[in-house]
Amino acid sequence: MTYRITLLPGDGIGPEICEAMARVVAASGVDVEWDRQLAGTAALASTGEVVPAALLESLRKNRVGIKGPITTPIGKGFTSANVTLRKALDLYVGLRPTRVIPELRPEFAGVDIVVVRENTEGLYAGLEHTIVPGVVASLKVITERATKRIATFAFEYARTHGRKKVTAVHKANIMKLSDGLFLDCCRQVASRYPDIAYDEIIIDNCAMQLVMNPTRFDVLVMENFYGDVLSDLCAGLAGGLGVVPGANLGDDCALFEAVHGSAPDIAGQDRANPTAIILSAALMLRHLGETRAAERIETAVHRVIAARTTVTPDLGGTAGTRAMTDAIVQAMG
């Protein structure tokens, strides 16, 4: 069978790491026809849109896509292509599994955390306005519908992936109404999953525990902004954004992604670490039911990183993107 998958190479190091990812997927034996599309700055220059209609059409049709990082101007300019894609395709789940490679981060060996982030509302939605000059307000909207939907995803994920516990992360001691509603919804959903343990933790304590005692966590579910911050904290435990995969999932479409940025400082220099996008491709293959191919890729990546002889400079090595990709392909046997 041939899968047709939308590929967004993105900006900066995006094209280099996507080329590496496509080589590894080909070596896994899964047959993929890449439907290449533009987004972000490149798309703006050629189509006048950051997220062109052709891209959305491709993702709706193929239902699965993978993307490199997209440059977003800070404090001005166009809205993030990532946020636009999440909204347009209702990709309501931000999924970030973090499994620490012990040889890379021995102090965090055994950490295996999955962050499930609500992707559509909360403070991160950026609903801001100026009340009078010098006073601005940013709205945090939490709805029962979106919270039950994300909580149900977290419990279903736990059940289907052999996980034991879901922890809801909140600040309901202060934001009694918004985070209070979030917790009420999580509790209602939890009651339908007696086989999965459920507990709750206040976000500031959670941040500390993630550093002091991270192996106590399993699946974490939280609103958008908390998820944005804590998923990067978890990535830090594993060795940074260059080594963890990510996905944005909806009921009709799944978009896998390297969660790091476009790294303009090293673009075009054969220095980018391709791990994040390669592990995201493995997540994608699991989503497609190609579990064996996904496992082969993950094992090969872990082996190459654990050996530390052919890794990129961010992991303390001297290898280039291409050489590290060669090593991963070779490790797949």
Minimum CB separation of residue 232 from ligand NAI in Å reads 9
Task: Considering the complex, state which of residue 122 and residue 242 has its C-beta at the smaller distance from ligand NAI.
Answer: 242
Task: Considering the complex, state which of residue 278 and residue 329 has its C-beta at the smaller distance from ligand NAI.
Answer: 278
Contact in structure between 31 and 221 (CB atoms under 8 Å): no
Q: Among 13, 54, 18, 50, which Cα is nearest to 37's? A: 54
Report how far apart, in Å, the C-alpha atoms of 33 and of each of 5, 20, 57, 65, 183 are: 6, 15, 16, 11, 43
Minimum CB separation of residue 209 from ligand NAI in Å reads 26
Report the alpha-carbon distance of residue 190 to residue 152 in Å, rounded: 8
Minimum CB separation of residue 295 from ligand NAI in Å reads 23
Minimum CB separation of residue 277 from ligand NAI in Å reads 8
Task: Considering the complex, state which of residue 72 and residue 84 has its C-beta at the smaller distance from ligand NAI.
Answer: 72
* Vertex 187 angle, CA 185 and 192, to 5°: 100
Task: Considering the complex, state which of residue 261 and residue 320 has its C-beta at the smaller distance from ligand NAI.
Answer: 261
- Rounded to whole angstroms, the maximal C-alpha distance in the chain is 64
Minimum CB separation of residue 259 from ligand NAI in Å reads 6
Site for ligand NAI, rule CB under 6 A: 13, 69-72, 82, 241-242, 257, 259-263, 265-266, 272-273, 276, 312, 314
In the numeric block, the tokens 């673009």 are attached to: 267
Q: Among 50, 24, 38, which Cα is nearest to 304's? A: 24
Minimum CB separation of residue 119 from ligand NAI in Å reads 13
Task: Considering the complex, state which of residue 58 and residue 167 has its C-beta at the smaller distance from ligand NAI.
Answer: 58
Minimum CB separation of residue 189 from ligand NAI in Å reads 29
Crossing angle of the two packed helices 321-331 and 275-287, in degrees rounded to 10? 40
Report the alpha-carbon distance of residue 210 to residue 233 in Å, rounded: 8
Residues designated as active site: 124, 171, 204, 228
List CB contacts of 62: < 8 A, sequence separation 6 or more.
4, 5, 6, 35
In the numeric block, the tokens 């804590």 are attached to: 230
Measured from each CB, the residue nearest to ligand NAI is: 261
**Phi then psi dihedrals of residue 88, to 5 deg:** -65, -35
In the numeric block, the tokens 């896998």 are attached to: 256
For the chain, give the number of residues: 333
- Dihedral (CA of 72, 83, 157, 194) sign: positive
Task: Considering the complex, state which of residue 28 and residue 262 has its C-beta at the smaller distance from ligand NAI.
Answer: 262
CB burial of 252-265 (b: ≥16 within 10 Å; e: otherwise) equals ebbbbbbbbbbbee
Task: Considering the complex, state which of residue 254 and residue 259 has its C-beta at the smaller distance from ligand NAI.
Answer: 259
